[in-house]
Amino acid sequence: MEAVFLFCTDAGTGPDGKLNIHGIFSELQASDFPARQDSMVLVGIIEWQRDVQGRIPFAVDLTDPEGLAIFSIEGHTDVEARSQSRAPAKTQLILPLEKVMFPVPGHYRARIKINDIEVQGPSMHLLRMGDS
């Protein structure tokens, strides 16, 4: 399995099946804490090994600087069998995160488990406005 995940402001799938990602970011600023981000998106592409198929569970935890979950999503994706003459199956995940509360400034990370395997998720820095 290969996976890439990003935080962005908006994402969607076009009529051609391609993933369109807008406003990729790795830091946010707030004037005060706790801070609330009304809307953002965690987007990912997973390319599956050929022996993986069926309903695959996933869980995402957005963790604070101490490693504690502040926002969680659970779900599943359906992976179809693919012949050797075709490219491996891929899953495009577009996961809206709404009204996320960030308790303190610092380094936040997405902890992602797919089929009980932890994969590297993106991170972001929450900064207090005016701090340099």
61-88 tens-digit pLDDT:
999 999 999 999 999 999 999 988 999 9
How much of the chain exceeds pLDDT 70, in percent? Answer: 98
What is the layout of strands, in order, in the sheet containing 27-30?
27-30, 117-128, 106-114, 54-63, 69-79
pLDDT at 104 over 80: yes
User: How many angstroms separate the CA atoms of 90 and 3, rounded?
Assistant: 10
What pLDDT does residue 49 have?
Answer: 92
Does 130 or 114 have the greater pLDDT score? 114
Query: What's 101's domain CATH number?
Result: 2.60.40.3880
* Structural domain boundaries, residue 90: 2-128
User: How many angstroms separate the CA atoms of 34 and 64, rounded?
Assistant: 12
Q: Which two tokens stand for residue 7?
A: 């935080």
pLDDT at 12 over 70: yes
What pLDDT does residue 80 have?
Answer: 93
pLDDT at 131 over 80: no
pLDDT in tens, 20-67: 999 999 999 999 999 999 999 999 999 999 989 999 999 999 999 999
pLDDT at 132 over 60: no
- Is there a contact between 8 and 34 (Cβ–Cβ < 8 Å)? no
Domain count, the chain: 1
What pLDDT does residue 120 have?
Answer: 84
